[in-house]
Structure 1
Amino acid sequence: MSEVSTITSTATATRTPSTTPTATPTIPTVYLPVVQRPAPPTATPTMTFTPSATPTVTNTPIPVITPNDPNYYRQWGLDKIGAPYAWPFSKGQGVVIAVVDSGVDLYHPDLQGKLVSGWDFVDNDSIPYPSDGKGHGTHVAGIAGSLTSNSLGIAGVGWDAQIMPVRVCGTSGCAFSAVADGIKWAVDHGAKVINLSLGSQYSNSTIRDAVAYAWSHGAVIIAASGNCGDPSTYQPNGCTVLSPISYPAGYDNVIGVGATTSSDTRASFSTYGPHVDIAAPGDQIYSTYVNLFGSTYADDSGTSMAAPFVSGAAALVWARSPGLTNQQVVDILLATAFDLGTAGRDDYFGRGRLDVRYAVQVAGSSSIPTGMHSNAYTMPQSVDANLSAEVAAGRVIVKLRPGSTLDDLATLLGGVGAVYDSPLLLDRTHVVRVPAGTERAAAAELSTSPLIEYAEPDYVMRLD
């Protein structure tokens, strides 16, 4: 799905990595009226946290960090989620956030020292740079973890968190096979948080398997809910119906993120539905960017921008308490969200708008909430159910059943005019080549074999 607003670039930067030393931020003590939010209960699947009708107000000293980045004043989202009040307690140190996206500008001065080694599943090399000039992944990376308080550009939510650039999207979109490989590769190379600012209204077994792998290996997975919530723009944004459930946001153990405005309303484009678990700032977000002229900064809007706020917050929570499990990190983020809209969970804001200040406080306490599983609305679909989905030409994904061999697969391929292409990183999963235009028919035929667990066209998802 496409972005929902026109990119406005400003302040084009040099492509030479910045050598400006990171300044040490000051930590003033301020005295503000503080609403005493009740402590979370230890276990209830429907918990919400709402200030009492008569809140207790005290003049409690609250440490706050204001970074010295010159464009911090443009980043309304950081103040909205309470990041300056979380940073004194955690800066995300030691946590790697994988940005599985269109690639990241490796030369951006505001990302120097923040990037760890990544991979490019479009060009199949170790340089995940957006060679097509697409700045989406760079924008996402800056929100999650730009170099902060370095007297340059902007601040990132995950102040000291590191960014792992994984390129899975090119000029023709994001092939499901590439996204699945990107997720598994990131987890296998140390990412604790997986940011997926992309999606499709079509369910897919390969992406579901990759998400399940990431979760079972201890990662937190965060995905955009989609940009098809506005009746006037859902079709240009790539949807066939208004506000469909978006995947991977709709899968089990994925935090689906909707977008909010600076006034804490739902952004008009933000897809709503049962797959929305939490909301975060996503309207007119200023961040790092790259275009054909080089490194720069830009405003952009979308649930793609909301997701990395949550990813950065997950890094802060985990760094505050490194012994937390991925389920506990999810529980904390959802349980501490600031309730918006209808009381309790709703389809527009999920559990509410991200409140990282409260989340970091709870992460450092002895009372960790439980039972706040993300909503899962996985609806397995047959090949025929995805007739409108865009397909990577000539590509079909096949997963063998345990005990089946590549020789078995070769025999099957001959019967449908297909040839073997390559293995995916997921166990027993492969890509085969078929004549363009026959992808659905070939997948349906291969699916009938008892040797095959599933076969499906290599669909294409869009950046959200």
Structure 2
Amino acid sequence: MRQSRHRFAGAVLIAVVGIAGASTITATPAQAAAVAVRQDPVREDQWQLDELRASHAWRHSTGEGVTVAVIDSGVDGSHPDLAGQVLPGIDLVAGSGDGRTDPVGHGTTVAGLIAGRNDDSSGVLGLAPSAKILPVRVLDAENRYDDALIVAKGVRWAVDNGARVINLSLGGSGDSPALAAAIDYAFARDVVVVACTGNLAPEAPTEVWYPAREPGVVAVTGLERESESLWSGAITGGATVLSAPATGLLGARPGGTWKVQGTSFAAPLVSATAALVRSRWPGMSAATVVNRLISTADDLGAVGRDDRFGYGLVDPVAALTTGISTVERNPLDNNDPPGVAGFGAAPGVTTAEAATADGPHTVGGKAPGTTAGWAAEPVGAVEHHHGGLFGGATVLIALLSAAAVVLRRRLRR
């Protein structure tokens, strides 16, 4: 059970969110835009800052000096809540641009939860308000990607351009050796990688998404507003590492704010915590940062790590104040080589079913001879991601990348 460390305000929240937190928003981008304009008082909408004791954490660190890569749909660099926070990045979808535009809003929401600076009655304040955001656009205008290779390229670019933490609020059902190799590249260069576990969808697999289940990645599932309950739409399982608030959150979007929910929005709260830790101890290794996050988590459910909550609720204050030993290796990385299966439709899901599960649009942009089989994420203000599958030359590249990963990991032993 949880330690009784929370403020009286936490008990009040549990009493009042039963009605407000009960609704589920499932929408296409157009529908989401129509409902997202509703705004409640900022402190009520940003309950996660109270739950995670942000004001206490900020006595020790605000994330200054740390760059967090948001590999997503782009980030609206002109949003008032992110003014001065968004560095020039890259747009791997359009092939030009610096990633500081967002046709969907998803990446802007993720960035705001990490590094939003607006603390007035209508703005978004992030958990690491002094961190910088490096936007890497890999999701198209329908908030999807058809080939995991684009995400792999994004990870490598982010590492080469100064990211100390990488947030991946996306994923799918099939493994990707190319993406595994890119993540291993990040690990080798001392970068913390955080990903969401995924959201449940009709007729879709319930396994923790990839890349969240890649060894070494901090896989984040979502909690209801009460925070002791797993969000009903969250995927969880043995790969789950940490939990974070996922419902009733205020998110930044181009042109304003909206209410969101989903594991996509739990993950950036963990990325922000990693940024706080890396800011306080700039010389601390990524492996020790990960160890600090999991060692100081507020245990939920069964004692110790479990398949529902992982190690428990991320605890920024404990992560910044508790004495934890340094480690030489990421405790989550068991050095297993990445899987090479998963090329083809997800078991029991046809192309048509996969498209239907993701809403009223079809899967497109596929390489010749391939089908779509990665899970969608239809819950939240606007969360729709498809990962694609490999064909032709992409398969050869992926397999070569996998071989390189295995070799590097053997050398690291």
For Structure 1 versus Structure 2, the TM-score category normalised by the shorter chain is 0.7 to 0.9
2: CA distance between counterparts of 1:10 and 1:384? 39
Q: What do residues 255-276 of structure 1 show as CA deviations (whole Å, max 9, x unaligned)?
A: 0000001212100011011111
Q: 1:92 aligns with which of 36, 39, 63?
A: 63
1:162 aligns with 2:162: no
2: CA distance between counterparts of 1:259 and 1:443? 37
Letter in 1 for 2:284: L
TM-score, normalization: structure 2?
Answer: 0.74
The verdict on how the C-alpha distance between 1:83 and 1:308 changes in structure 2, with shifts beyond 3 A counting, is same
User: 1:276, 1:375 within 8 Å by CA — same for their partners in 2?
Assistant: no
User: 2:77, 2:85 within 8 Å by CA — same for their partners in 1?
Assistant: no
Across the aligned residues of Structure 1 and Structure 2, the Cα RMSD in angstroms comes to 3.1
**Which structure 1 residue ranges, 5 or more long, are not aligned?**
13-69, 398-437, 456-464
Q: 2:49 aligns with which of 58, 72, 78?
A: 78
Richer in strand (by share): 1
User: 1:274, 1:375 within 8 Å by CA — same for their partners in 2?
Assistant: no
The aligned counterpart of 2:214 is 251
User: 2:216, 2:330 within 8 Å by CA — same for their partners in 1?
Assistant: no
Q: 2:246 aligns with which of 262, 268, 282?
A: 282
2: CA distance between counterparts of 1:271 and 1:138? 23
Letter in 1 for 2:53: G
The aligned counterpart of 1:309 is 269
1:9 aligns with 2:36: yes
User: 1:257, 1:280 within 8 Å by CA — same for their partners in 2?
Assistant: yes
Alignment partner of 2:366: what SS?
Answer: strand
1:215 aligns with 2:187: yes
Q: What do residues 377-404 of structure 1 show as CA deviations (whole Å, max 9, x unaligned)?
A: 853316357585778423699xxxxxxx
The aligned counterpart of 1:181 is 153
> Identity of counterpart residues, as a percentage?
33
User: 1:83, 1:356 within 8 Å by CA — same for their partners in 2?
Assistant: yes
The aligned counterpart of 1:138 is 108
User: 1:332, 1:369 within 8 Å by CA — same for their partners in 2?
Assistant: no
The offset of 1:176, in angstroms, is 1.1
User: 1:91, 1:319 within 8 Å by CA — same for their partners in 2?
Assistant: yes
1: CA distance between counterparts of 2:65 and 2:368? 38
The offset of 1:283, in angstroms, is 1.0
The offset of 1:11, in angstroms, is 7.0
The aligned counterpart of 2:305 is 345
Moved more, 76-85 or 89-98: 76-85
Q: 1:393 aligns with which of 361, 366, 372?
A: 366
The verdict on how the C-alpha distance between 1:212 and 1:256 changes in structure 2, with shifts beyond 3 A counting, is same
Moved more, 170-179 or 144-153: 144-153
The offset of 1:148, in angstroms, is 4.4
2: CA distance between counterparts of 1:149 and 1:177? 38
Structural mapping, 1:223-262, within 5 Å: 223-228=195-200, 233-235=201-203, 239=204, 241=205, 243-262=206-225
The offset of 1:71, in angstroms, is 1.6
The verdict on how the C-alpha distance between 1:370 and 1:74 changes in structure 2, with shifts beyond 3 A counting, is farther
2: CA distance between counterparts of 1:396 and 1:191? 35
1:380 aligns with 2:352: no
The verdict on how the C-alpha distance between 1:356 and 1:315 changes in structure 2, with shifts beyond 3 A counting, is same
The number of equivalent residue pairs is 337
Q: What do residues 298-341 of structure 1 show as CA deviations (whole Å, max 9, x unaligned)?
A: 11111000000001100101111111000000001111110001
Letter in 1 for 2:207: P
Structure number, greater radius of gyration = 1
1: CA distance between counterparts of 2:135 and 2:330? 29
The verdict on how the C-alpha distance between 1:182 and 1:123 changes in structure 2, with shifts beyond 3 A counting, is same
Alignment partner of 1:107: what SS?
Answer: coil
